[in-house]
Structure 1
Amino acid sequence: MKADPKADAAAAPAAGGKSKLFIMIGAAVLVLGLGGGGGWYFLHGSGGAEAAEPAKKDHGSKKKGKKEAPPEYLAIEPFTVNLQPENGDQYLRVAFTLQVVGAEQAELIKANMAKVRSRVLLLLSGKKASEINTVEGKQQLAGEILAAVKTPFESHGDDQDVSDVLFTEFIIQ
């Protein structure tokens, strides 16, 4: 008995077509699975990282649970003060900018600028030129100004949220 070559030829493409169909379905399932997994990762995986990140920022902060505001810079009018005498009369002219956390803190400091200026003036007038002439002396002075500005304006009030003092002018004569 002889096999019909036409029947063999028709059976071969049908079997090949079924395997191609299974490969296409498998590829489609794989693409959908990868797409679904990627979508889940971006929705859930990166959300977990964002939730952990603010906890790192707030670690040690007084304002737990609040998102930190971007820094604001508040320029303070220059001060000219007589320094404590060492080698005759000397004076200091200094200007600085305060880095504060958020516009609310900037407004609070502006509203209490008379207290800020008084505190800084008293601090500066007690200094000697030799104490503040070096880089280390200027850094220490910046820390002292920072502490003076952070001190609450009202008794039992919260400290001002000031993070840095940036000198913009510093002249000793």
Structure 2
Amino acid sequence: MAKTEAKAAEAAPKKSNAKLLIILLSVILLVVLAGGAFLLLKQSDHADEDEDVVQQEKPKKKKKEAHAPVFQALETFTVNLVPEQGDQYLQVGISVELEDVTDGEKLKVFMPKLRNQITLLLSSKKASELTSKEGKEKLAEELRETINVTLDPPPKGKKAESPVKEVLFTSFIIQ
């Protein structure tokens, strides 16, 4: 009997040690899981902040890109060019890309003045200046500046607003 009591006494501490070990491992596991959950929540908070920042930036971009481009076709211009080899003529169709629809209305209001400015500019050119791609691009830029200054003259010492973003040639004939 003494042997059985000794075995029972040894088994009891082993069981309590095993229970203590299981409880200790369970606590450690819970701490690790809680720490992992905390990190995940912290990362999701940062992700939410990043999404908020991205969402705040997106509307700004959407405001710029919210509307489709606005194009306005001008009447065809036919002018005499500066003579180099006899009489030469330029017939050009022009469309302009505008910043806003309201600029299209302003363009219609100023059309007589615009036609005059554009005709003066076109008739001051030589055919040799306009035959190359670079010459046409330079003319488009000069037309854009002329139209912008006519539509919205700049205050003294300041740069003009740009209602016209780009001038496009729809036809270009030199004879």
TM-score normalized with structure 2 length? 0.69
CA distance in 2, matches of 1:130, 1:161: 30
Match of 2:38 among 20, 29, 32: 32
Task: Give the aligned partner of residue 99 of structure 2.
Answer: 101
Written as runs of structure 1 = structure 2, the 5 A alignment for 1:62-73 is: 68=64, 71-73=69-71
Task: Give the aligned partner of residue 129 of structure 2.
Answer: 131
CA distance in 2, matches of 1:17, 1:113: 88
Structure 2 unaligned segments of length 5 or more: list them: 1-5
Instruction: Give the helix-richer structure, 1 or 2.
Output: 2
The residue type equivalent to 1:123 in the other structure is L
Pairwise CA RMSD of aligned residues?
3.4
Q: State the 1:124 CA deviation.
A: 0.8
Written as runs of structure 1 = structure 2, the 5 A alignment for 1:154-169 is: 159-169=161-171
Aligned pair count reads 160
Structure 1 unaligned segments of length 5 or more: list them: 58-66
Per-residue deviation, residues 28-49 of structure 1 (Å, max 9, x unmatched): 3323333333323442586289
The residue type equivalent to 2:49 in the other structure is L
Match of 2:74 among 73, 76, 81: 76
The residue type equivalent to 1:168 in the other structure is T
Structure 1 39/128 Cα, relative in aligned 2: closer, same or farther at 3 Å? same
The residue type equivalent to 1:90 in the other structure is Q
Question: Secondary structure in 1 aligned to 2:116?
Answer: helix
Structure 1 7/139 Cα, relative in aligned 2: closer, same or farther at 3 Å? same
Match of 2:29 among 6, 23, 28: 23
Q: State the 1:84 CA deviation.
A: 2.2
TM-score normalized with structure 1 length? 0.70
Per-residue deviation, residues 146-170 of structure 1 (Å, max 9, x unmatched): 1110114476666443222222221
CA distance in 2, matches of 1:24, 1:75: 72
CA distance in 1, matches of 2:170, 2:45: 49
The residue type equivalent to 2:172 in the other structure is F
**Equivalent residues of 2:93, 2:169 under 8 A apart:** yes
Runs of 4+ in 1 over 6 A off after TM superposition: 154-157
Match of 1:8 among 10, 14, 17: 14
The residue type equivalent to 1:73 in the other structure is F
Question: Secondary structure in 1 aligned to 2:139?
Answer: helix
